[in-house]
Structure 1
Amino acid sequence: MTAKWKVIVAHRNYLIAWLTPLLLLPLPLLVPTKEAQCGYVIILMALFWCMEVLPLAITALFPVLLFPLMNIMDSTTVCMEYLKDTNMLFIGGLIVAIAVEHWNLHKRIALRVLLVVGVRPALLIMGFMSVTAFLSMWISNTATTAMMIPISQAVLEQLHKSEHETSPVEHGAESINKAFELQEVPHKSDIYQETQKQDNGHVLTVEEEEKLKDEKQLQEKQHLTFCKGMSLSVCYAASIGGIATLTGTTPNLVMKGQVDELFPANNNVVNFASWFMFAFPTMLLLLALSWIWLQTMFLGFDFRKNFGCGVNASVKAKQQMAYRIIKDEHKKLGPMRFSEIAVTVLFILLVVLWFTRDPGFMTGWATNVFNKNGKSYVTDATVVIFISLLMFIIPSEVPTCFCYDRARQTQQDSTRQIPTLLDWKTINQKMPWNIVILLGGGFALAKGSEESGLSSWLGSKLTPLQNIPAPAIVLLVCLLIATFTECTSNVATTTLFLPILASMAQAICLNPLYVMLPCTLSASLAFMLPVATPPNAIAFSYGQLKVIDMAKAGSVLNILGVLTIMLAINTWGFSLFDLNHFPVWANTTSTASCQ
């Protein structure tokens, strides 16, 4: 029986892939309506996404097959959903991020900030968290974590090594740990007497050996604890930083695309500038709370020692040795090359153009220049594609014809073709095309729900919720999504929930953004399990963490995250998006009674 069960478990994906569609088949057969048929597709895709029976991107292709067969949408209309404006925004953002990674600009920024912050325990955690969060605002959370974790481990190993080398009490190769002043420092007279005993050839007693052994174990335990805290701080900061910008993490783009799909007349209410003004303060607050919590959990409550106040010369020497590691890594990068300067300038130009395109509080350049009949033809995707194209036009080196030292030029230098900042081979290797398809599948589902009438049907069934206070609804849904995203992809979570939440908001005459915005941010609160998000898995792969460590730290952060999001949406988010009123752009035929 055990052998048969093992065979079933080994082939479970095949069984689920074949049996699930058959078991769900009575739904569209017994209820022959378009709403039921669309529901069949959504339930099937939800189960496949949750159990990861197939690659997520392959499951996202189901609407291309099933919607035409069920007469919900024709094939041409479905396929058009897979490359919308939001997909191009995602692609352009990734191209810029790949350029930053390709020329190691992100590593230079990280090391430079760490040199400024220093290596005192609490400040070291703060430095790694702030750098990781900033980088993950612009480049992949996974890539940021994969770069920052090895740097943090190298610094911690050097700190640990320096503790052995500078400790005054040694027996063989062992030493007593006083790193970071996390334990009481022995009195100088005791150290002197112990040293004298060893110098005079004194053989340690059993009690003395046991004491040194216990102190050695305590040293290793404290080092392991600090390594755990540092690994968690990096992976958590990567997830938190991604919520600050529209292109920082994929759920944000899913939300932007769903709003544009479900409410075409929304007047571009969610753009880079408006999202940043709402999410960036939220990110800063949550990052600060996370830093305080991780510092308390892994360094203790003695904040004076955590900040390196009143440390002795021995501890300062250890910190200087670790600081030298960061400095040496920074020196290896050398001076900034032309390619790094060019990418930096283009990156800054991109951010400025995004912010000034349509900031909301003033007329943007897109409205003044590219506006016709009250409609702006330029979006955030247009801007980022423009910058992306420049990456393939600008050379990565200064052409030799512009060099002043012509005497050093050779014939080979003058005829050599200088590569551009980016080439297609680099893009093709690093571009996650599966996410582009996954985004498109989500937009196809949203469109299919609208065309089949499933959205309206769901909205009508959710009208009893209007008797519950709106903040309570948002709090419950945020907690649900924060829990759900621990087990499933955050992209799949937002793709499945946001159309339902939009229908619910319309049915109870609530501004859809009041529900969709906080729930999108909650999808990034994947802190409890290694499988919840790639940054967690990278941190877990280094072997210092146990699942229980991540669960303890992450459960508190999940609660802090939901409370922070609730504070944000009910304060500055409320006025920023005018959430007190049901907007005209959300008023469809099904919600004509909403005023």
Structure 2
Amino acid sequence: MAGILEVILAFRKSLIIVTVVVLTLALPLAVPTKEAKCGYVIIVMAVFWCTEALPLAVTALLPVLLFPLMNIMDANTVCREYLKNTNMLFVGGLLVAIAIEHWHLHKRMALRVLLLTGVRPALLLMGFMVVTAFLSMWISNTATTAMMVPIARAALDQLHKLELESNLESSGAGQASEVQEGSTPEEKGRTHVLTIEDERKRNEDLLEEKHLKLCKGMCLCICYCSSIGGIATLTGTGPNLVLQGQVEELYPDNGGVITFVSWFSFAFPTMIVLLVLAWIWLQIRYLGFNFKENFSCTGNSSAMVKEKEAYAIIQEENKKLGRMKFAEIAVLVLFILLVLLCFTRDPGFAPGWATNIFNKKKKYVTDGTVAIFIAILLFIIPSGFYNAQTDGKSKFQAPPPLLEWKVVHEKMPWSIVFLLGGGFALAKGSEKSGLSAWLGTRLTPLQNIPHPAIAFLVCLLVATFTECTGNVATTTLFLPIVASMAEAICLNPLYVMLPCTLSASLAFMLPVATPPNAIVFSYGQLKVIDMAKAGFVLNILGVLTITLAINTWASSLLQLRTFPSWANKTGMCP
């Protein structure tokens, strides 16, 4: 029996593939319609994404095979979905992020901010959260976490070392204490002596417990904020780009409702609110909300000395980087230029440079155009003025550019490009087959439910689902469904698509939910229950924050209370 189980476990992925493909085939065979065939493809891909029976990117390629075979879309139409403007924006943004990481510019920015915040417990926690969230707005959350955790550990280890040394010195200087016990004459002569060793051991245990709590809180704040920070910008994380692509795919006449500026104006305040709530929650859980102790307002001279020593660690790390090189300055300038060009291309409240320069044909130039322009400059601009020779030869050699293709080849997550494309293909297939319209008609009873309740339930459902599967895959599966629901009940599709997208980034409870969680878990100080308890509360706070955002500032900024004409495909809505 044990041998059979071992064989099943060894071939479990193959068994999942065969079982899912064969069993769900009953749907298109029993109901031979295009809607059922498209539903079959979606079910197969959803199961494969959840179980990772196939690599995520390989699963995303299934529409290229299945849609033509099932007469849903021809192969040329399907393949065109895999490299759209959104994919170009993603590639361009990642190339800039790779350049920042390659020249260690992100580490320099992180250390500079930590030098400003200092190493007092609450402020240190806040400093790492702010730095992590900011970096995650522009570079991948995985790279951000991998860079920030070692810096945090170095500072915490130094703090702990100094606390232990201080405890040893104070114990050595102290005297043994005598404590009289008992109240009867027979017990008056009995005494208990607390030795120096006992007292030192007890203090060490308390310090170890305190240090472990602080380490847990710091690790969690880094992995959580790398996910929180990504929601602030359109290129910060995959689900945001999936939303933009799905809106362009499902509603081609939307007039550019989702741009870099419109997304930032709504998502950045949401990120700030969630960041503050996460800071308060992690501080309560791992530091205790003691204002004097957490902010070091006790005036304790030994505590001040320990802080200075830990602060010196960060200063030393910053000194190791030396002065900014030409390459770092050039990458920083290009990064700032990218942000400025994206913000001013089509700000909404005034004509942007794309409108003025290109004769009001603003659709000719997109955020993807800007991102690719900056990315190409990275391969043109040299990383210095000369290339020093180490072999004694005097022959002049031109320095390499700011970014080389071999670096891109090593660090570019190409699988996400296919994953995005697979999502766009699914959305197109759902529309062409009529599945989206069919789902919409079945969801019309939801019009009797208050709209805020619908947004809340969507957030809760997606936040739960994203703990078990990738955030991009989750968004890809749910966005067409909630969009169809919104159309059926004459609700602005963005009112449910935005919370669906943001909630996909609320993967806080499990180590396998997202790579940043896995990175901090690998250091061994966290248990699954630690992440689950802290993440559960943060998930609830995230759902409430997103629901609040959708019903307040987002409604005003994006006019979510009105049903737009570009979403009125059937003409049934007023």
Bin of the TM-score, shorter chain as denominator length? over 0.9
Which secondary structure does the structure 2 equivalent of 1:529 belong to?
Answer: coil
Distance (Å, rounded) in 2 between the aligned partners of 1:264 and 1:305: 56
For residue 184 of structure 2, what is the aligned residue in structure 1?
A: none
For residue 160 of structure 1, what is the aligned residue in structure 2?
A: 160
AA paired with 2:573? Answer: C
Distance (Å, rounded) in 2 between the aligned partners of 1:169 and 1:111: 31
For residue 390 of structure 1, what is the aligned residue in structure 2?
A: 377
C-alpha change, 1:462 and 1:424, in structure 2 (3 Å) is same
For residue 116 of structure 1, what is the aligned residue in structure 2?
A: 116
**Is this contact kept in 2: 1:371–1:377, CA < 8 A?**
no
Which secondary structure does the structure 1 equivalent of 2:231 belong to?
Answer: helix
**Is this contact kept in 1: 2:60–2:418, CA < 8 A?**
yes
For residue 377 of structure 1, what is the aligned residue in structure 2?
A: 364
**Is this contact kept in 2: 1:256–1:270, CA < 8 A?**
yes
For residues 496-552 of structure 1, the C-alpha deviation after alignment (integer angstroms, 9 at most, x for no partner) is 000000000000000000000011000000111111100011111110001111111
CA positional deviation for 1:580:
1.3
**Is this contact kept in 1: 2:137–2:230, CA < 8 A?**
yes
Query: Does the alignment pair 1:28 with 2:7?
Result: no
Distance (Å, rounded) in 2 between the aligned partners of 1:528 and 1:123: 25
For residue 292 of structure 2, what is the aligned residue in structure 1?
A: 304
Q: Which runs of 5+ in 1 are unaligned?
A: 176-190, 196-203
**Is this contact kept in 2: 1:305–1:311, CA < 8 A?**
no
Which secondary structure does the structure 2 equivalent of 1:336 belong to?
Answer: coil
Query: Does the alignment pair 1:548 with 2:529?
Result: yes
For residue 181 of structure 1, what is the aligned residue in structure 2?
A: none
Distance (Å, rounded) in 2 between the aligned partners of 1:24 and 1:413: 69
Query: Does the alignment pair 1:498 with 2:485?
Result: no
Distance (Å, rounded) in 1 between the aligned partners of 2:163 and 2:442: 65
**Is this contact kept in 1: 2:176–2:195, CA < 8 A?**
no
Q: 2:322 aligns with which of 317, 322, 334?
A: 334
Query: Does the alignment pair 1:264 with 2:243?
Result: no
For residues 292-314 of structure 1, the C-alpha deviation after alignment (integer angstroms, 9 at most, x for no partner) is 11011101121111001023111
Which secondary structure does the structure 1 equivalent of 2:298 belong to?
Answer: coil
CA positional deviation for 1:414:
6.4
CA positional deviation for 1:209:
3.7
Which secondary structure does the structure 2 equivalent of 1:227 belong to?
Answer: helix
Distance (Å, rounded) in 2 between the aligned partners of 1:267 and 1:109: 37
CA positional deviation for 1:376:
2.6
For residue 68 of structure 2, what is the aligned residue in structure 1?
A: 68
CA positional deviation for 1:279:
0.4
AA paired with 1:433? Answer: W
Which secondary structure does the structure 2 equivalent of 1:15 belong to?
Answer: helix
Q: 1:487 aligns with which of 464, 468, 473?
A: 468
AA paired with 2:384? Answer: E
AA paired with 1:378? Answer: V
Distance (Å, rounded) in 2 between the aligned partners of 1:289 and 1:343: 33
C-alpha change, 1:264 and 1:212, in structure 2 (3 Å) is same
For residue 181 of structure 2, what is the aligned residue in structure 1?
A: none
Distance (Å, rounded) in 1 between the aligned partners of 2:569 and 2:168: 77
Distance (Å, rounded) in 1 between the aligned partners of 2:548 and 2:170: 53
**Is this contact kept in 2: 1:114–1:326, CA < 8 A?**
yes
Distance (Å, rounded) in 1 between the aligned partners of 2:404 and 2:464: 41
For residues 28-55 of structure 1, the C-alpha deviation after alignment (integer angstroms, 9 at most, x for no partner) is 1111100000000000000110111010
Distance (Å, rounded) in 2 between the aligned partners of 1:135 and 1:255: 22
Distance (Å, rounded) in 2 between the aligned partners of 1:233 and 1:40: 40
Which secondary structure does the structure 1 equivalent of 2:82 belong to?
Answer: helix
Matches within 5 A, 1:127-146: 127-146=127-146
Query: Does the alignment pair 1:570 with 2:558?
Result: no
Query: Does the alignment pair 1:361 with 2:349?
Result: yes
**Is this contact kept in 2: 1:145–1:235, CA < 8 A?**
yes
Distance (Å, rounded) in 2 between the aligned partners of 1:328 and 1:432: 33
AA paired with 2:321? Answer: L
Alignment size in residue pairs: 559
Which secondary structure does the structure 2 equivalent of 1:579 belong to?
Answer: coil
Which secondary structure does the structure 2 equivalent of 1:145 belong to?
Answer: helix
For residue 245 of structure 1, what is the aligned residue in structure 2?
A: 233
For residue 351 of structure 1, what is the aligned residue in structure 2?
A: 339
For residue 473 of structure 1, what is the aligned residue in structure 2?
A: 454
**Is this contact kept in 2: 1:169–1:194, CA < 8 A?**
no
Distance (Å, rounded) in 1 between the aligned partners of 2:566 and 2:176: 79
For residue 518 of structure 2, what is the aligned residue in structure 1?
A: 537
For residues 470-520 of structure 1, the C-alpha deviation after alignment (integer angstroms, 9 at most, x for no partner) is 110110110010011011111110000000000000000000000000110
CA positional deviation for 1:335:
0.4
C-alpha change, 1:309 and 1:425, in structure 2 (3 Å) is same
For residues 13-42 of structure 1, the C-alpha deviation after alignment (integer angstroms, 9 at most, x for no partner) is 110111210001111111110000000000
For residue 458 of structure 1, what is the aligned residue in structure 2?
A: 439
**Is this contact kept in 1: 2:493–2:567, CA < 8 A?**
yes
Distance (Å, rounded) in 2 between the aligned partners of 1:84 and 1:58: 18
**Is this contact kept in 2: 1:163–1:318, CA < 8 A?**
yes
TM superposition score normalised by structure 2 = 0.95
For residues 427-448 of structure 1, the C-alpha deviation after alignment (integer angstroms, 9 at most, x for no partner) is 1110000000000000000000
**Is this contact kept in 2: 1:370–1:376, CA < 8 A?**
no
Q: 2:313 aligns with which of 317, 325, 339?
A: 325
Matches within 5 A, 1:88-237: 88-167=88-167, 169=169, 192-193=174-175, 208-237=196-225
AA paired with 2:305? Answer: A
AA paired with 1:63? Answer: P
Distance (Å, rounded) in 2 between the aligned partners of 1:339 and 1:248: 23
CA positional deviation for 1:411:
11
Please say which of residues 559-568 and 212-221 is displaced more in the overlay: 212-221
TM superposition score normalised by structure 1 = 0.91
For residue 19 of structure 1, what is the aligned residue in structure 2?
A: 19
For residues 339-369 of structure 1, the C-alpha deviation after alignment (integer angstroms, 9 at most, x for no partner) is 0000011110110000000011111111111
Distance (Å, rounded) in 2 between the aligned partners of 1:543 and 1:53: 28
**Is this contact kept in 1: 2:176–2:196, CA < 8 A?**
no
Distance (Å, rounded) in 2 between the aligned partners of 1:413 and 1:95: 33
**Is this contact kept in 2: 1:100–1:343, CA < 8 A?**
yes
**Percent of counterpart pairs with the same letter?**
68
AA paired with 1:431? Answer: M
AA paired with 1:593? Answer: M
For residues 74-113 of structure 1, the C-alpha deviation after alignment (integer angstroms, 9 at most, x for no partner) is 1011001000000000000000000000000000000000
Q: Which runs of 5+ in 2 are unaligned?
A: 178-191
Which secondary structure does the structure 1 equivalent of 2:456 belong to?
Answer: helix
CA positional deviation for 1:417:
1.7
For residues 285-333 of structure 1, the C-alpha deviation after alignment (integer angstroms, 9 at most, x for no partner) is 1001100110111011211110010231111111111111100000000
For residue 283 of structure 2, what is the aligned residue in structure 1?
A: 295
Distance (Å, rounded) in 1 between the aligned partners of 2:371 and 2:393: 36
AA paired with 1:339? Answer: A
AA paired with 2:566? Answer: W
Over the aligned positions, Cα root-mean-square deviation in angstroms equals 1.9
AA paired with 2:572? Answer: S
For residues 260-300 of structure 1, the C-alpha deviation after alignment (integer angstroms, 9 at most, x for no partner) is 00000011100101000000010011001100110111011
Query: Does the alignment pair 1:427 with 2:408?
Result: yes
